[in-house]
């Protein structure tokens, strides 16, 4: 796969000073990390899809949840993001404002019937319905993520510029290609300045060129301080992105290791077989 990327043009242009000022927000509230997951379970009827999973996520890391289809990767992300209620165990964030400091991008991006810019503006305005800070005269000045309320338009434009789509700002988002829609979804999430970004197989349906673009954006988001928690079954992608690998098999966390030792010296027969491309089921 990497050879197919050799001649692909770069997607990310250097960010302007204005874009950096808008997108990289100072962290003026307490961190929601580390995230402690303890004996997490999720069952549907008699079927236990997540079985006693425990791990800790540290700030700034790139965590890849790896496993075959049906291993429980997407279910785990939805549990961590609060989209599903756990059947047992604990999900403990370091601060109570966790819901305002995380975002999620799905395998199939959800585009509103609006332009690319308006998709991002709509998301930013939704955050203003949460807790807002006030200025010295009691007027609402910032939303729950620290954005100045007057900065919504410039934040949306800066987000599109950062993912190389400024020229598509006024195009209806649903008329963009699959790869462009995924970049809009990432721009929309990035504009929220999340401390944690969940990514559920964001390149599963994309070609190599579009995949390279998405991976560049993921690295760029991480460099601004956002912690990545992402699912994939693509071993090559894990090697390109991960600082740490969480290997799931049949709902159990079989292995939790830094990326390099995971691939060089896997500690479980299931992980070793998966790396070799052998079927586990």
State the pairing for strand pair 252-258/244-249.
Answer: antiparallel
Per-residue pLDDT of the chain (281 residues; tens, 9 = 90+): 333 333 344 556 555 555 555 444 434 458 999 999 999 999 999 999 999 999 999 999 999 999 999 999 999 999 999 999 999 999 999 998 898 899 999 999 999 999 999 999 999 998 766 545 444 454 445 545 555 555 898 999 999 999 999 999 999 999 999 999 999 999 999 999 999 999 999 999 999 999 999 999 999 999 999 999 999 999 999 999 999 999 999 999 999 999 999 999 999 999 999 999 997 76
List 248's β-bridge partners, or say none: 253
**Which distant-in-sequence residues (6+ apart) come within 8 Å of 175 by Cβ?**
none
Asked if the structure places residue 43 within a domain, the reply is no
Query: And the tokens for 62?
Result: 């790139």
3-state secondary structure 121-180: HHHHHHHCCCCCEECCCCCEEECCCCCEHHHHHHHHHHHHHHCCCHHHCCCEHHHCCHHH
Strand order in the sheet with 227-232: 102-105, 196-200, 227-232, 62-66, 244-249, 252-258
DSSP letter assigned to residue 95:
S
Asked if the structure places residue 92 within a domain, the reply is no
Look at residue 280 in the predicted model and tell me its pLDDT. 72
Asked if the structure places residue 148 within a domain, the reply is yes
Asked if the structure places residue 70 within a domain, the reply is yes
Measured distance CA(108)–CA(203) in Å, rounded: 9
Percent of the chain as helix, strand, coil, to the nearest 5 = 35, 25, 40
Look at residue 58 in the predicted model and tell me its pLDDT. 97
Asked if the structure places residue 46 within a domain, the reply is no
DSSP letter assigned to residue 115:
B
Asked if the structure places residue 269 within a domain, the reply is yes
Asked if the structure places residue 54 within a domain, the reply is no
* Residue reference for tokens 């874009």: 19
- Beta carbons of 215 and 241 less than 8 angstroms apart: yes
34, burial (CB in 10 Å: exposed 0-12, middle 13-18, buried 19+): middle
Asked if the structure places residue 50 within a domain, the reply is no
* Residue reference for tokens 């004996």: 39
Q: How many domains does the chain have?
A: 1
Domain that includes residue 103, residue range: 17-30+60-85+97-276
What is the number of alpha carbons within 13 Å of residue 178 lying toward its C-beta? 13
Domain with 214 in it: what CATH number?
3.40.50.300
- Cα separation values, 154 from 5, 150, 158, 171, Å: 32, 8, 6, 17
* Residue reference for tokens 């992300």: 77
């Amino acid at each position: 796969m990497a050879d197919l990327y050799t001649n692909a043009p770069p997607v990310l242009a250097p960010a302007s000073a204005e874009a950096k000022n808008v997108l990289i927000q100072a962290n003026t509230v307490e961190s929601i990390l580390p995230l402690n997951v303890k004996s997490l379970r999720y069952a549907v009827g008699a079927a236990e899809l997540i079985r006693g999973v425990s791990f800790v996520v540290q700030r700034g890391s790139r965590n890849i949840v790896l496993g075959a289809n049906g291993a429980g990767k997407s279910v785990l992300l939805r549990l961590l993001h609060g989209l599903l209620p756990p059947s047992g165990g604990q999900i403990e964030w370091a601060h109570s404002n966790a819901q305002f400091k995380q975002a999620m991008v799905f395998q199939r991006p959800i585009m509103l019937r609006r332009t690319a810019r308006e998709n991002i503006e709509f998301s930013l305005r939704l955050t203003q319905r949460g807790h807002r800070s006030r200025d010295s005269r009691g007027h609402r000045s910032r939303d729950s993520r620290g954005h100045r309320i007057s900065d919504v338009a410039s934040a949306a434009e800066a987000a599109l510029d950062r993912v190389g789509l400024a020229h598509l700002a006024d195009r209806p988002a649903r008329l963009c290609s699959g790869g462009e829609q995924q970049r809009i979804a990432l721009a929309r999430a990035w504009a929220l300045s999340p401390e944690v970004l969940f990514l559920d197989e964001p390149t599963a349906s994309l070609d190599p060129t579009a995949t390279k673009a998405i991976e560049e954006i993921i690295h760029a988001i991480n460099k601004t301080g956002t912690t990545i928690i992402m699912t994939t079954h693509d071993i090559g992608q894990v090697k390109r992105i991960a600082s740490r690998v969480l290997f799931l098999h049949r709902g159990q966390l079989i292995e939790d290791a830094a990326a390099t030792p995971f691939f060089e010296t896997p500690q479980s027969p299931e992980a070793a077989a998966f790396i070799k491309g052998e079927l586990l089921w």
